[in-house]
Amino acid sequence: MYIIGAGAQAKYVIDIIDLPALIRVFDPIGGRVGQKLLGIQVEEYDKDKIPEESMVIICVADPKFKKEIYEGIKKRIFAYPEMIHRKAVVADSANIQGGCIVNANATIQPDAFIGMFTMVHANVSIDHDSMIGFYCNIAPGATICGHVQIGDNTVVGPGAVVTKNVSIGRNTIIGAGSVVLSDIPNNVVAYGTPCKIVGENL
């Protein structure tokens, strides 16, 4: 197993796998090369060090940077498994795409869809028939109610609540503790109760 990223998300994956002898960790930024992450030596990132047909997990928080890393390696033949913590609850009919990370005590209900490379943090609730895009980051304690749609590259902050039937666009940031009662467009920063647009996310 090859982990690209040496921060908190990498720690989550190491905890999920729980077999440190089978893991190599690469730092795509460079600030932690030579250090140890939960006992595993962090190496300088070089995609050519990863053999074809290996299992790879991209563990960076910034959705745009995560996508950039994937775009740089997608022509090579890698497997991108979904990582689901043993204490998460995932319905049989939920569709968790490759490269997703689902952390402890998260709950994903029937017919929910989680797009590739999305991070679902601890204590998140994603209700039935919701669709979460690619490269999203759903922060700890967020609640996504039923029939919600969230576009690619979007961040939902800690403790935010997205109410039933709401759509949130691509490349948008929802601030911590917000309550989203109506649709939010692409490329904005929104915050508050009720959640309102406060700026652009370019």
Number of domains in the chain: 2
In a domain, 201, yes or no: no
Q: Which of the residues are catalytic?
A: 121
Which of 35, 55, 73 finishes a domain?
73
In a domain, 202, yes or no: no
- Residue 74: per-residue pLDDT: 86
**Same domain assignment for residues 138 and 159:** yes
In a domain, 12, yes or no: yes
d(CA 55, CA 190): 36
d(CA 170, CA 95): 20
- Residue 167: per-residue pLDDT: 98
Q: 47-82 burial string, b = 16+ CB within 10 Å, else e?
A: eeebeeeebbbbbbeebeebbebbeeeeeeebebeb
- Residue 67: per-residue pLDDT: 92
Give the list of residues 6+ apart from residue 79 with CB closer than 8 angstroms, or none: 53, 54, 55, 56, 98
d(CA 110, CA 95): 9
Give the domain CATH number at 158. 2.160.10.10
How many other C-beta atoms are found inside a 10 Å radius of the C-beta of residue 169? 20
- Residue 77: per-residue pLDDT: 79
**Same domain assignment for residues 92 and 52:** no
Which of 16, 48, 73 finishes a domain?
73
**Same domain assignment for residues 180 and 138:** yes
Q: Mean pLDDT, consecutive 10-residue segments, the chain of 202 residues?
A: 94 90 93 94 93 92 92 88 96 97 97 97 98 97 98 98 98 98 98 96 87
- Residue 2: per-residue pLDDT: 95
**Same domain assignment for residues 145 and 107:** yes
**Same domain assignment for residues 60 and 87:** no
In a domain, 200, yes or no: no
Which of 52, 73, 94 finishes a domain?
73
In a domain, 199, yes or no: no
Domain residues for the domain of 14 are 2-73
- Residue 115: per-residue pLDDT: 97
In a domain, 78, yes or no: no
In a domain, 65, yes or no: yes
pTM of the model: 0.92
- Residue 19: per-residue pLDDT: 86
**Same domain assignment for residues 18 and 53:** yes
In a domain, 146, yes or no: yes
d(CA 29, CA 166): 35
